[in-house]
């Protein structure tokens, strides 16, 4: 059984991934570590939890060695829009946090999962069917930390044999924990607004097409890649993975099929629009499909139906 540390466990991915890992490998084998946000009841009650700043190398190493960890899912990071507001802090958290994780992994022979992003690409990247290996040149500090992170993970593998693996996530849509400070957050916010107010003011233009994915697929991707036979992997980090690709107008239309009185208006935020405009529209994920069997379950209609059910139930219980 692996013994796992999840950093960023209170975040949008971490909260759900931690519970999925506990289900799979046993609750006592998955240590959740959060920093800024308070852990939800589930997270703190279903298994070990600690507070950890990933910039503190000694504290991180003490948890990894003290808990005899064999794998680290490193999710702690600042997202794209908030990173543009605080570039130095974003560099510190995203890069030094990853470096500390890789160093502990090198010392204690841990496997590492590192989530990269569509943000690792930039305006020079082919926007449609974006190849696995292509020009990246990200234009945001967040994207720079993701592209550099992919390279650093590959370096630790080549130089020290650290089994670091990762995917490039599209925008992630989920109904447990809210994302914070990302550019694709509109695709989560819209559901709460649709259920509560029947109206949403979107901060991206109606025609801004981006790759997106529903959280259950994102969780499966992480676990499946980490369990994949290493002999089948030609790439290790920054695997393109795709599930659906849509614009705010198309998402609104899909919601209107369930809630016909839902309306959308556009109040474009220039910062987040510029970030979105620098990202690819749809990635080619054939390397992930061939090398470790990636295959998403949710398309746009399936995701919208499931999200509306969950958000309606959640708001009713609040
Ligand atoms: N969803 C992220 C963001 O918008 C991209 O990885 O920042």
Question: Residues 230, 235, 130, CA angle at the centre, nearest 5°?
Answer: 145
Q: Mind listing the pLDDT tens digit for each residue in 9-54?
A: 999 999 999 999 999 999 999 999 999 898 988 899 999 999 999 9
Residue 83: partners with Cβ closer than 8 Å, 6 or more residues away: 89, 90, 94, 140, 141, 142, 145, 181
Residue 152's pLDDT band (boundaries 50, 70, 90)? very high
Q: Is 116 in the pocket of ligand 1 (CB under 6 A)?
A: no
SS3 readout for 24-37? HHCHHHEEEEECCC
Q: What distance in angstroms lies between residue 208's CA and the mean position of ligand 1's atoms? A: 14
Residue 318's pLDDT band (boundaries 50, 70, 90)? confident
- Cα separation of 158 and 164, whole Å? 10
Q: Report which ligand 1 atom has the smallest distance to the Cα of 142.
A: 7
Which of 144, 132, 121, 137 lies closest to 210 in space, CA to CA?
Answer: 121
Residue 317's pLDDT band (boundaries 50, 70, 90)? confident
Q: Specify whether the CB–CB gap between 126 and 134 falls below 8 A.
A: yes
Q: Mind listing the pLDDT tens digit for each residue in 42-98?
A: 899 999 999 999 999 999 999 999 999 999 999 999 999 999 999 999 999 999 999
Q: Is 14 in the pocket of ligand 1 (CB under 6 A)?
A: no
- Cα separation of 79 and 299, whole Å? 24
For ligand 1, atom 2: residue with the closest CA = 182
Give the number of other CB atoms < 10 A from CB of residue 257. 12
Which whole number is the average pLDDT over 187-208?
A: 98
SS3 181: coil
Which whole number is the average pLDDT over 235-249?
A: 98
For ligand 1, atom 6: residue with the closest CA = 117
pLDDT for 231 equals 97
Q: Specify whether the CB–CB gap between 195 and 312 falls below 8 A.
A: yes
**Residue 5 β-bridge partners:** 31, 72
* pTM exceeding the 0.95 threshold for the entire prediction: yes
pLDDT for 153 equals 98
pLDDT for 50 equals 96
pLDDT for 156 equals 98
DSSP calls for 220-264: HHHHHHHHS-GGG-S--S-EE--SEEE-HHHHHHHHHTT-TT-EE
Residues with a known catalytic role: 142
For the chain, which domains are there? 4-170+215-240 (3.40.50.720), 171-212+243-282+298-317 (3.90.25)
Sign of the alpha-carbon dihedral angle for 45, 47, 48, 53:
negative
């Amino acid at each position: 059984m692996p013994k796992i540390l999840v950093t960023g466990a209170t975040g949008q991915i971490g909260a759900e991934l931690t519970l999925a890992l506990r289900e799979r490998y046993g609750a006592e084998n998955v240590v959740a570590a959060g920093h800024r946000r308070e852990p939800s009841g589930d997270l703190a009650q279903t298994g070990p939890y600690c507070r950890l700043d990933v910039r503190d190398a000694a504290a991180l190493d003490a948890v990894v060695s003290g808990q005899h960890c064999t794998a680290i899912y490193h999710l702690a990071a600042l997202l794209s829009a908030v990173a543009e507001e605080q570039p130095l802090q974003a560099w510190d958290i995203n890069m030094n946090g990853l470096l500390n994780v890789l160093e502990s992994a090198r010392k204690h022979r841990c496997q590492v999962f590192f989530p990269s992003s569509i943000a690792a690409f930039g305006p020079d990247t082919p926007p449609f069917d974006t190849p696995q290996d292509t020009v990246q040149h990200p234009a945001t500090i967040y994207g720079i930390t993701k592209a550099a992170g992919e390279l650093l993970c590959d370096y630790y593998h080549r130089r020290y044999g650290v089994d670091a693996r990762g995917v490039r996530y599209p925008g992630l849509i989920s109904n447990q924990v809210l994302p914070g400070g990302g550019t694709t957050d509109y695709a989560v916010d819209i559901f709460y607004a649709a259920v509560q107010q029947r109206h949403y003011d979107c901060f991206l233009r109606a025609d801004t097409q981006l790759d997106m994915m529903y959280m259950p697929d994102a969780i499966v991707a992480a676990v499946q890649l980490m369990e994949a036979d290493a002999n089948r992997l030609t790439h290790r980090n920054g695997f393109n993975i795709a599930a659906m690709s849509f614009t705010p107008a198309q998402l609104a239309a899909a919601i209107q099929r369930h809630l016909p009185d839902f309306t959308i208006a556009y109040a474009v935020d220039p910062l987040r629009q510029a970030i979105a405009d620098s990202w690819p529209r749809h990635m080619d994920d054939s390397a992930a499909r061939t090398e470790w069997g990636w295959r998403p379950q949710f398309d746009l209609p399936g995701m919208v139906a499931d999200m509306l059910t969950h958000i309606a139930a959640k708001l009713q219980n609040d």
